[in-house]
């Protein structure tokens, strides 16, 4: 039986479409404990309440803006204290915007990189330290098909930031391998969430004939978090309905 029994996780971006679906999937597969985090406290608590009502798994909600290193340090410390250990870090927090290259201000460029790359790096590093002291763990970072294709309707800061996530993940995987810390990326294609609600994609352009769901992405995040993926590190799983086959 596919299970996360006895394991604990931090899920960032857990108030969002993919993060919530992943947290729900982890709970359905018997995770021992979770810290759910997002900048949107109200939505976060709704996610946790729904998961508890449907699976019985209670989560700790921590509202944090991940862009600051100090906030990442505090989050990792609180998660360790509440969960006792951290086996899985799933990074789903992220931002993107529809638009053209002329819509990118310096402020927007920095905002995108601050959350998608800088915040992700610092929370990874804080949790990595804890995993190193525990003798291992799993980190999963959400990149995007846009990292390879350059994106379709989003402003160029977004695919650039996700390309950084792909490379950063490999750097962390190299550093972590001898410490039994596995680090992988999941690269979704077109997934129906709040982030993409104004993108207007045509399902007919997807070889599998439909836009993806958070649950589609959760499958890959569940597999990578599990012991079934124990020999996989530095890899990227594409969840894109066949839009790109690399």
Ligand X SMILES: NC(=O)c1ccc[n+]([C@@H]2O[C@H](COP(=O)([O-])OP(=O)(O)OC[C@H]3O[C@@H](n4cnc5c(N)ncnc54)[C@H](O)[C@@H]3O)[C@@H](O)[C@H]2O)c1
- Rounded to 5 degrees, what are φ and ψ at 152? -115, -65
Beta bridge partners of 61: 36
**130 lines the binding site for ligand X (CB under 6 A):** no
**30 lines the binding site for ligand X (CB under 6 A):** no
How many residues at the interface with ligand X, by CB under 6 A? 29
**194 lines the binding site for ligand X (CB under 6 A):** yes
Q: Which of 17, 137, 159, 176 binds ligand X (CB under 6 A)?
A: 17
Question: For residue 67, what is the DSSP state?
Answer: T
- Could you give the strand order of the β-sheet that contains 33-38, starting from the edge strand earlier in sequence? 59-63, 33-38, 8-12, 88-91, 137-142, 181-188, 236-239
Q: How far is the CB of 142 from ligand X (least distance, A)?
A: 4
**142 lines the binding site for ligand X (CB under 6 A):** yes
**18 lines the binding site for ligand X (CB under 6 A):** yes
**89 lines the binding site for ligand X (CB under 6 A):** no
Question: What would the x/- binding string for ligand X be over residues 210 to 239, using CB under 6 A?
Answer: ------------------------------
Question: For residue 194, what is the DSSP state?
Answer: G
Q: Which of 24, 26, 158, 228 is catalytic?
A: 158
Q: Which residues contact 90 (CB under 8 A, 6 or more apart)?
A: 9, 10, 11, 12, 19, 22, 26, 140, 221, 225
Q: Which stretch binds ligand X (CB under 6 A): 26-34, 35-43, 125-133, 149-157?
A: 35-43
CB of 99 within 8 A of CB of 56?
no
**94 lines the binding site for ligand X (CB under 6 A):** yes
Q: How far is the CB of 197 from ligand X (least distance, A)?
A: 9
Q: Which of 65, 69, 78, 215 binds ligand X (CB under 6 A)?
A: 65
Give the number of C-alpha atoms closer than 13 A to the C-alpha of residue 121, restricted to the C-beta side.
Answer: 14
Q: Which stretch binds ligand X (CB under 6 A): 34-42, 53-61, 123-131, 166-174?
A: 34-42
Distance of CA 210 to the CA centre of its chain: 22
Known active-site residue 26? no
**16 lines the binding site for ligand X (CB under 6 A):** yes
Largest CA distance in the chain: 51
Q: How far is the CB of 1 from ligand X (least distance, A)?
A: 27
Classify the phi-psi angles of 91: left when phi > 0, otherwise alpha if psi is within -120 to 50, otherwise beta.
beta
* Active-site annotation, residues: 158
The residues of the shown chain that bind ligand X, judged by CB under 6 A, are: 13, 15-19, 38-40, 64-67, 92-96, 115, 119, 142, 144, 188, 190-191, 193-196
């Amino acid at each position: 039986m596919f299970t996360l029994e006895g394991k604990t996780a931090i899920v960032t971006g857990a108030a969002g479409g993919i993060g919530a679906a992943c947290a729900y999937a982890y709970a359905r597969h018997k995770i021992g404990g979770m810290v759910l985090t997002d900048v949107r406290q109200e939505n976060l608590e709704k996610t946790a309440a729904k998961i508890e009502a449907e699976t019985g798994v209670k989560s700790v909600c921590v509202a944090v803006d991940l862009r600051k290193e100090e906030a990442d340090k505090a989050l990792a410390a609180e998660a360790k204290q509440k969960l006792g250990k951290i086996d899985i870090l799933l990074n789903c927090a992220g931002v993107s915007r529809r638009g053209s290259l002329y819509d990118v201000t310096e402020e927007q460029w920095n905002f995108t990189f601050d959350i998608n790359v800088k915040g992700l790096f610092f929370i990874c590093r804080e949790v990595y330290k804890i995993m190193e002291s525990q003798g291992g763990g799993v980190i999963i970072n959400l990149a995007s098909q846009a990292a390879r294709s350059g994106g379709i309707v989003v402003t160029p800061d977004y695919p650039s930031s996700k390309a950084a996530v792909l490379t950063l993940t490999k750097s962390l995987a190299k550093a972590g391998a001898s410490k039994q810390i596995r680090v992988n990326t999941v690269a979704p294609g077109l997934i129906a969430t709040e982030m993409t609600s104004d993108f207007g994609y045509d399902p007919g352009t997807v070889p599998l004939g439909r836009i993806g769901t958070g649950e589609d992405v959760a499958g890959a995040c569940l597999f990578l978090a599990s012991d079934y993926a124990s020999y996989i590190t530095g890899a990227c799983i594409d969840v894109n309905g066949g839009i790109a086959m690399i």
